[in-house]
Structure 1
Amino acid sequence: MSESRARVDPVRPILPLWAAILSAAGAALLMDLSYPDAAVWVLAFPATALLLIALIGRRAGSALLVGAVFGILFFAMLVSWTSRYLGPVPWLALAVVEGVLTALALVLITLAYRWIPRALPGDWARIVVLPAVVAALWIGRELFIGSWPYGGFPWARLGMTQDQSPLAPLASWLGVSGLGFVMVFLVAVVIEMVRLRRGLPRMSPAVPAALVLVLFLTPLFPTTATGTMRIGAVQGNGPTGYFDERTPFSVVDAQTEATEPLYGEDLDLLVWPEGSLDYDPFQTPDLARRLSLISTRVDAPLLANAATGRNDRYYNTSMLWRDGAAEAIHDKRHPVPFGEYVPDRAFYNALAPDLIGLIQREYTPGENSSVIDVDGVQVGLAICFDVIYDDVVDQGVRDGAEVLVFQTNNADFRGTDENLQQLAFARMRAIETGRSVVNVSTVGTSQIIRHDGSTVSSLDADEAGALLEDVELRSGLTAGVVLGPWIQQILLWGGVGALVIGWWRARRR
């Protein structure tokens, strides 16, 4: 009896601390490889397993250390592109902050492994309830880091690794967070089944077979095709980086030159990327006339983007331009902290005055609709990093968007994985919402993407060019859009609530 209990004791650490630290470091490496550029999606599963194994049985202090090793190394590799121009300080600061927040949240998973088996000692609880709580706490960690501090940084969500995986359609049913929950749950179930190492609860062989079929053969949630829209997307490859040398109107000149092959083509909408205009066209008459001329030559409205000023505030603004005026505008909803504005400027300026001094403008978050009407077609917008925030994309689709357009400027990260990571997020948004996506960058990579995440056409990084396609329009809300926010809240508060109940029952037992 004592031997059997020793084999299944869920409280004892699986690994000594030194091995747990190595396991966490290996998890960080594999997890980074599951994201682009490598994009080996299957590695997200062993990465998750290595981290969970390293956390099992740890006390809070050692779990914090293990979590910090994973978090700091993982973010240091994933967002190394932040050091491209500004050097190691912003990169290390971001990696350490995100890594420490990750470590703090991972302690809760360690506590779940300690308390839940004591509160519910049965085998079925070990292979169902415990993995569910662990997976819910994992998603809660993602939501926490994705919303705090300063609006959060939801860049490293587990579900986003699966854009080219057979599991990706699950996002159209459960949302990206729901997909991440399923992934962690499956890994945690396998770990517990291996840990039990004795008579498992009896089940029919049809159960795991059915589960495999559901997970890998789930179709996309159905949406309805409503027609097509002929969209041209132009990647000018101009000097749009923060430190690029430029002459007056050099950016719009590059965009104009790359647009010339579309003159005479049949277009419904011409799209330029974020930062495609050198100046504010509302305050620069020459630039406004240039936009009107281009719109006339392609005989279609032009969707461009620039920094604009209104009422003593600055905005990152996309405008639909035609007949000498903007028919509609959309301001970026989530300006990037320390990129487009500086929170608590006086404090951070005292720490790094040279770096903080580079950021002169303070962009204001937009409050207008992310959907614009283009001759009766509803087009949903997201500017640059807004693609990683659920509220912008989901609200656009709820407001009737039939196609999504993502405008971005990756020039500050030339030669890094940043543009490919962002492109993977765009593909997952297409799958999650059931909408075609036009993702256009100043310097690449630009793509037109079908609603199933597959690529229609593409422009490689660091080349000028134009895409022209009949982009499918679709209507109807996926379950991922409708249920996704509810699933997030259920997982967030359900995981925390289950942990509290587990602590209370474990104490009583």
Structure 2
Amino acid sequence: MNAAIPVPKSVPPAGIVPSLTPDPTPHAAGGVVDGDRSPPLPTGLALGGAVVVVATFQLGVLYPALAALGLVWLGGLFALRRVASPRWAFYLGTAIGLGMYAPQLAFFWTVFGPAAAVLWLILAFWIGLFLLLLHRCERRLGPWATPWLAPVLWFGLEYFRSELYPLRFSWFTAGSLLPVPELAPVLRLFGVYGSGALAMLLAAWCVRVWESGARRVFRGTYRGLAVLAVGLVLGGLAMALGGYQRTAAGKVRVAGVQFEFPGLPEVLEGLNSLLAAHPETELILLSEYTLDGPPPPRLLRWCLEHARWLVVGGKAPQDGDRFLNTAFVINPMGEVVFQQAKSVPIQFFNDGEPAPETRVWDSPWGPLGIAVCYDASYTRVIDRIVHQGAMALLLPAMDVEPWGAHQHRLNARVTRIRAAEYGLPVFRVASSGISQLTDSRGGLRATAGFPGQGEVLAGELSWPAMHPPTRPLDRYLVWPMLAGLLMAAAATFRRRKPRSTPGGGDPISCRCACSSGS
């Protein structure tokens, strides 16, 4: 009768009170066990990492020779996914974005006044969102999935904020900071968004190796990396072999003059001076908004008298006060034979209506594309031009002098990136600089500086007989990457039911009930 009653293993011995502290593993949230995840970063280390990200980004932008620092700031962003909470990830990422973009876009204050702070914050939001999604992926899907998802998130967010949503702004994508012509083959194969995603993939795995040790990491991932590498190589070869087509080589002697809101007498005087200095010129390009309307008769007569082709920026009137920001092509007979309006007018400016269509000019030297100013910032616009067979790109632009030298340098960077990305030579004439004549790798053949009023640049715009593929590899990945971004976001934010014990019920409440019964 006094024999001891055996105590079930699930019941703690008498005198020991079970802990009511929840199980530290995030099973209840549907996540991964703590042993599979690195501990959260201490606040001080996270803040130090944020400073490193901002500093290396600034150095990479200011000094193209330090472009390799892109791997450092991308890797730093990836490492900061381990901050303590989702809210901390978003706030820290947004603060990093402000530190990255506000100093580079200080000229926004000159253009927009105090509203510039809102625009800086909108740009910074995308870095905060990236870090938030990365943090959630780490918590929900585990550390081994996160390095693979990082380039998908990065690609999707960069493309969306650059090309799709109403306040699109494509500067400072990771791929656009690559040096050209040194890395022109990378941009040509992968595109500006694909190059950025590839850099994020490399940076993420470098950080993951450093966190966990190379042997452990590559034991489970080397096969995936090998498959990815083979896929990229085969995709690039298929694109190259399938996209190359024989076409006639072409060249044209071009020249341009930098004018900012000139009067017609000033324009005619500048054209006469240009021909006196470069009588071999066949095609002349003037900047966006050189004219305040369509070409006047005196300018048409000048083209007839001097037997020259002229491309000049002006306005094509529409109904009421509406107009199209247009590049007019005038032939040596003094006739307007082609027009191309700006496809994406600048937000917050009276920049005209969007172009109803995008066409390529069938010039005497071959098909030439015309993109007006900031149209060159959008791959969706240039894709349409290149898809129609353009062999070179003419780019009339306007960056007004009060915006400053730094803004002019930033916008001029886009010209060389587009040349390298599409393998097309570009001739850009801007109102107050920086005008450029590039080869098909983004190398400079001629340039005119800031502010350079009345400054002339001239040279030969030429393209080889082998026309390159129409679009880089990343253009074919846009929709899969955007779909991957949405699926990853949905998976990481979806609520899951708590896991129950095999016998049913919450394990903590079961232990408490058993303890009370004993």
Q: Shared fold (TM-score greater than 0.5)?
A: yes
SS of the equivalent of 1:303 reads: strand
Cα deviations across residues 460-507 of structure 1 (Å, max 9, x unaligned)? 2233013121422566452744x4332122222123324544667987
- Is 1:337 the counterpart of 2:351? The answer is no
Q: Distance in 2 between matches of 1:167 and 1:316?
A: 34
1:160 and 1:176 in contact (8 A); partners too: yes
Q: Distance in 1 between matches of 2:66 and 2:304?
A: 42
1:160 and 1:425 in contact (8 A); partners too: yes
Shift of 1:81: 2.4
Q: Distance in 2 between matches of 1:197 and 1:506?
A: 32
Among 284, 300, 317, the alignment partner of 1:309 is 317
SS of the equivalent of 1:30 reads: helix
Unaligned stretches of 5+ residues in structure 1: 241-245, 342-362
Instruction: Give the structure 2 partner of residue 356 of structure 1.
Output: none
Specify whether residues 382 and 504 from structure 1 end up closer, same or farther in structure 2 by C-alpha distance, changes over 3 A only: same
Shift of 1:369: 2.1
Among 302, 316, 320, the alignment partner of 2:329 is 320
Shift of 1:83: 3.0
1:370 and 1:382 in contact (8 A); partners too: no
Cα deviations across residues 230-279 of structure 1 (Å, max 9, x unaligned)? 1313132x344xxxxx6x43652564255233563152x221121222x2
1:295 and 1:321 in contact (8 A); partners too: no
Instruction: Give the structure 2 partner of residue 352 of structure 1.
Output: none
Instruction: Give the structure 2 partner of residue 265 of structure 1.
Output: 280
The 5 A counterparts of 1:190-209 are: 190-197=206-213, 199-200=215-216, 201-202=218-219
2:328 and 2:339 in contact (8 A); partners too: yes
Shift of 1:87: 6.2
Q: Percent identity?
A: 20
Root-mean-square deviation (CA, aligned residues, Å) is: 3.4
Among 478, 501, 508, the alignment partner of 2:469 is 478
Specify whether residues 39 and 153 from structure 1 end up closer, same or farther in structure 2 by C-alpha distance, changes over 3 A only: farther
Q: Which has the larger radius of gyration?
A: 2
Cα deviations across residues 336-384 of structure 1 (Å, max 9, x unaligned)? 001235xxxxxxxxxxxxxxxxxxxxx1111222411112611111111
Instruction: Give the structure 2 partner of residue 292 of structure 1.
Output: 301
Among 82, 97, 102, the alignment partner of 2:127 is 102
Shift of 1:37: 6.2
Instruction: Give the structure 1 partner of residue 429 of structure 2.
Output: 440
Instruction: Give the structure 2 partner of residue 10 of structure 1.
Output: 37
Q: How many residues align?
A: 454
- Is 1:176 the counterpart of 2:192? The answer is yes
Specify whether residues 149 and 88 from structure 1 end up closer, same or farther in structure 2 by C-alpha distance, changes over 3 A only: same
Q: Distance in 2 between matches of 1:264 and 1:250?
A: 20
Shift of 1:325: 2.4
184-193 or 28-37: bigger deviation: 28-37
252-261 or 486-495: bigger deviation: 252-261
SS of the equivalent of 2:280 reads: coil
Q: Distance in 2 between matches of 1:505 and 1:167?
A: 44
Counterpart code for 2:253: I
SS of the equivalent of 1:178 reads: helix
TM-score when normalising by structure 2: 0.78
Q: Distance in 2 between matches of 1:407 and 1:395?
A: 18
Instruction: Give the structure 1 partner of residue 478 of structure 2.
Output: 488
Instruction: Give the structure 2 partner of residue 354 of structure 1.
Output: none
Instruction: Give the structure 2 partner of residue 56 of structure 1.
Output: 82
Cα deviations across residues 178-222 of structure 1 (Å, max 9, x unaligned)? 111100000000011111136333599xx99x97xx99xx99958
Q: Distance in 2 between matches of 1:404 and 1:446?
A: 13
Counterpart code for 1:393: I
Among 235, 260, 270, the alignment partner of 2:257 is 235
The 5 A counterparts of 1:49-448 are: 49-84=75-110, 86=111, 88-117=113-142, 126=144, 129-147=145-163, 149-164=165-180, 166-197=182-213, 199-200=215-216, 201-202=218-219, 223=244, 226-236=248-258, 238-240=259-261, 248-249=263-264, 252-253=267-268, 255-256=270-271, 258-261=273-276, 264-267=279-282, 269-277=283-291, 279-282=292-295, 287-294=296-303, 296-297=305-306, 299-312=307-320, 313-322=322-331, 323-340=333-350, 363-375=352-364, 377-413=366-402, 415-448=404-437
TM-score when normalising by structure 1: 0.79
Specify whether residues 438 and 144 from structure 1 end up closer, same or farther in structure 2 by C-alpha distance, changes over 3 A only: same
